[in-house]
Structure 1
């Protein structure tokens, strides 16, 4: 069995905390769930807290080579992507945790880091579960936020950091990039699950059928890319604050909505919007499920500790993908 990775300690994070906050932390807690960066809560002696993001190989359970920025779906991690996304969203008036300090040159740790505001109202996911009535306000405000993002458009697609400096992503179009990725996801999942192996040809053909039905489109919109309720924190004033923003990109709004529909369940009705292309939604729903099979199974090739969570995600999405295949027959 691979030994558990060693997390950073209070002593490790003290130089960063002193530079960002002027004090040594009284306690440090690594928050659960991160697979691409370390997320640590820094507690201070006046009962205030802040969050430290650490981008280092030791905190990245995906591994692999340095991602190609031109690949829209490449590993979305790194301080450059974070800072570009933070600046773009803040400029649009979209609430994100306030940036307190950034160390791009790895002066205070042997890794790039940032320290941000600790939004202590909990996640929208928890609020939807524990107090649905209280979730109505941040959910409605999130719908408005999505509208603001959709109005921010571009002629190209790709990560915001790439597009906004004039770069071009691979794939030609959003729908082609999604279809190509979905075919790769089928192949990757087929190596790890016999049910995907048995359905590989049918799934691949269905992806291509759905891609062929999508008409060209000239403009893309700004999307978070992975906007589940766990990636929305709620301030004490009921405002939603977006986190895990490194994947911010210009893409089809339907890609965002396919994920919202999947992750928000019945609460998606508040976020639903008019004018979505149903052919794109059909392609993106299937592709989303296939990605959420291949990704978790690939992550489990390594030493990610929350293994049952990933197995459950893969199993749920495989069943949904196969259901979509059966209903199309």
Structure 2
């Protein structure tokens, strides 16, 4: 388990809770690190866990207790929104470092309970807001330094993801919580905290309860105003990101792109998103191995910091239901 001995150990012992597509992405990057090895994995679908272990290493075990008994130093928790809670609490109590994929939970109380448990245990935690590690975000932060931000426009324009739980809001939390939290986290990093939100939805698609489209208004503490919009009505992912208007400048940011304009000309650059994703896994492993540095503003957030973005996303989702403005902090 993740104690001082990890620093001197040749390989950090990694486990997985959940072995779906996101877990597979992390496992592929972990495989490129010569100081880490996957030793045990669990999934509600044991056959899927066994297939994952065969492909990436380790062995499939029946439950979290067996994962802990396997001597893991760190665990990736890659489960749907409704499944967060029990695993994180048990692993934190056992002294295991945690990489938790977003969103943190369906709601704020569950995420807060997990965060409190992690803090009490004193274990390393990071949350999968890997956009913070992307070069476009670093470039945008430099460009906006010293400028007054006036307006923020966020968007996630996509299809229905190919997982059975996503169209059930009671299991996914809806698009603002499950997807747009990436964009909202980026808005907090580049512009600052949001005080108040108000959101509406266009209703669920046929056969589901998740909103097919949402639009929200945000009031930032710095005085800027913003919007965020989502849809799952398309045949594929069109784009996701932010446009930030500051005095004399507009900066557009996505996981893989940066564009800068002044109303007359625009400069555009493209980036490989795999670089930031790999960097996020490397940053987590370094923290587990005893780097000792607190999370950087443009590095992966720990659980307590990510909770602020989760709270913002949940405030928007709540406003969709209440149809009144909601406090975001």
TM category (shorter chain) comes to under 0.3
More helix by share: 1
User: TM-score under structure 1 normalisation?
Assistant: 0.24
Structure of greater relative contact order (alpha carbons < 8 Å, 6+ residues apart): 2
More strand by share: 2
User: TM-score under structure 2 normalisation?
Assistant: 0.24
